[in-house]
Amino acid sequence: MSIVVTGATGELGRLVVEQLLATVPASEIAAVVRNGEKAAPLAARGVELRVADYDRPESLQNVFRAGDRVLLISGSEVGRRVPQHTAVIDAAEAAGVAQLAYTGILGGPDADFRLAAEHKATEQLILDSGLPHTFLRNGWYTENYTANLAPVLAHGAVVANAGDGRVASATRADYAAAAAAVLTGEGHIGAAYELSGDVAWSLAEYAAEISKATGKEITYRNVPAAVHQEILVGAGVPEFFAEILVDVDEAIKRGLLAATSGDLARLIGRPTTPLARTVAAAVAAA
């Protein structure tokens, strides 16, 4: 039996592997990766590499073993995720894994925005498979904002169409710690965790934190959805993805990413990382 992390060299996957390495022997961890050379540092630390690709179902046929505990990290390619996830679920079912944990989205079946559709479909596929499962319904990553500081600093404004909506975000490291806890602990089969930060904040508060960290005046500029769409496309964001981002802001306006269940803090055994700390670190790095 191994603890298996798919997408193990991605932004979330590598953090999950690091969390696991801090708690279990490397010999008990397997990393599913597309590129074995890219994952060579993990192999050097004793992690087993299993090379496979979500887009090639045949490559997944022997990647899992009976009794494995598997983390299916959702694919990053919006619009292609359902067939990708189906291939992983089918392979896990054929192998007889002991647990399939899936990183979905906050709200699960109640999330009505476009980005949630593939996550909801995947959860239903997992339920239909009958696999022992755990749903990790991740809220928004704080890094979704702080990784895009350059235009904010250049223009002195956070631009969005989220109104006064609030976001209960947490860092990727927080969500990775929760995934590791579920993969190594007991009592999580059949659970659906609504994972989010301890405190929901507004984009005006986010702008104020950037101001505090930089010493410059940063404002929040709320604009109509159509205007935000034009701004994003003009900045080089593909139109399809710009529509997704604008739709997420509309969901934020409706309060769909503001829930603070406390599940994340309970799983990781500590408070979630405050917004101010993440902003300060991002500003320092910039």
- CATH number for the region 3-139+170-195 comes to 3.40.50.720
Rounded-to-integer distance, Cα 180 and Cα 159, Å: 35
Nearest to 64 by CA among 88, 28, 34: 88
Mean pLDDT calculated for residue range 3-19: 96
What tokens were used for 82? 């359902």
pLDDT band at residue 103 under the 50/70/90 scheme: very high
Residue ranges of domains in the chain? 3-139+170-195
3-state secondary structure at position 238: coil
Please determine, for residue 76, whether its predicted confidence score (pLDDT) is greater than 90.
Answer: no
pLDDT tens-digit map of 148-168: 899 999 999 999 999 999 999
CA 17 to chain centre: 14
The radius of gyration computed from the CA coordinates of the chain, to the nearest angstrom, equals 19
Q: Which two tokens stand for residue 245?
A: 């981002």
pLDDT class of 80 with cuts at 50, 70, 90: confident
* Two tokens, residue 177: 């710690």
User: Closest Cα partner for 219 from 269, 152, 150, 285?
Assistant: 152
| Kind of pairing between the strands at 133-138 and 99-105 | parallel
Residue 78: per-residue pLDDT = 86
Contact 241, 178 (CB under 8 A): no
Segment 231-251, tens digit of pLDDT: 999 999 999 999 999 999 999
Tokens 């690709």, located at residue: 53
**Cβ-Cβ contacts under 8 Å for 48 (sequence gap 6 or more):** 2, 27, 29, 30, 31
Phi and psi torsions of 170, nearest 5°: -145, 170
How many other C-beta atoms can be found within 10 angstroms of the C-beta atom of residue 284? Answer: 8
